[in-house]
Structure formats: C-alpha cells, structure tokens
Amino acid sequence: MMTWLAKTIRSERRALERARRRFIAKPSEKRLHEVRTTGRRFRSLLEDVAELAPSARLLRRVKRAAAATDAARDATIILRLLQTSVDPSELLVATPLLRELRRHEALATRRARKQLRRMRFAS
C-alpha cells in the first residue's frame, strides 16, 4: 500500500509541476484552471493520507499555489459573468467596467505567474 501511495503522490506532484510550468510558459485561462484543479486534487490527496504519509511542508506549498491563483481566477470569473450578462443596450455604460476588469485580470494573472515561478513541486 505504501508503494502505491508513494507512486501516487509522486505522480500528482509531477502533474502539478507540469501544470505550473505550462502556465508560466504561456499563461491562459485554461492553464490557470489546470493549475488550480491539479492543485486541488493533489491537496485533497495529501489531506486524506496525512496520517499515512505526513507531508505538511508539501501541503503548505500546494495551498500557497492555490492562494497565488485565487485573485486571477476570481477576476476571470467576474469578467466572464459580466460579459455574458450585459445587455447590448447597456454595453456603452459597461465598457469602462469591462476594460477595468480586463486590466485587473491581466494584473492578477501576472502576479500569479510571478508567484508560481518561485514555487517548485518536482522532487
């Protein structure tokens, strides 16, 4: 069982590292989502097996990666929601807000990229 667990942890760790590297190389909404979902899956695994294979430092790093991407994901979701809910008759009024949200999304994505650059998950 421990061999399976060690292999699974290594595999999830490599998957998160690959997702992190892809996002850093070319940030996109899809790649941000990949980092977040891969990290969430890995965090759940580490929390579920904490008594069998304690790795508190690694768990903290995974949580920090999620926190680093929160603002970028929030900005993306808010922007998409507004884009899909604005009535064409309101577009003129909404345009400055949409522009500001795009700017905020770009800034949050750059910050996430900068923070993720400093993190490593490969062993």
Written as six digits, the tokens of 59 are 């768990």
pLDDT at site 37:
97
78 falls within a domain: yes
83 falls within a domain: yes
Whether the pLDDT of residue 123 is over 80: the answer is no
Instruction: Write the pLDDT tens digit of every residue in 50-92.
Output: 888 778 899 999 999 999 999 999 999 999 999 999 998 998 8
Number of domains in the chain: 1
Q: What is the spatial distance between Cα 100 and Cα 80, in angstroms, rounded to a whole number?
A: 13
pLDDT at site 1:
58
pTM of the model as a whole: 0.86
105 falls within a domain: yes
Q: Structural domain of residue 54, as residue ranges?
A: 2-117
Instruction: Write the pLDDT tens digit of every residue in 13-46.
Output: 999 999 999 999 999 999 999 999 999 999 999 9
122 falls within a domain: no
Residues 6+ positions from 55 with CB-CB distance below 8 Å: 9, 46
Instruction: Write the pLDDT tens digit of every residue in 95-113.
Output: 999 999 999 999 999 999 9
33 falls within a domain: yes
Task: State the angle between helix axes of 29-48 and 56-85 in degrees (0 to 180), rounded to the nearest 10.
Answer: 140
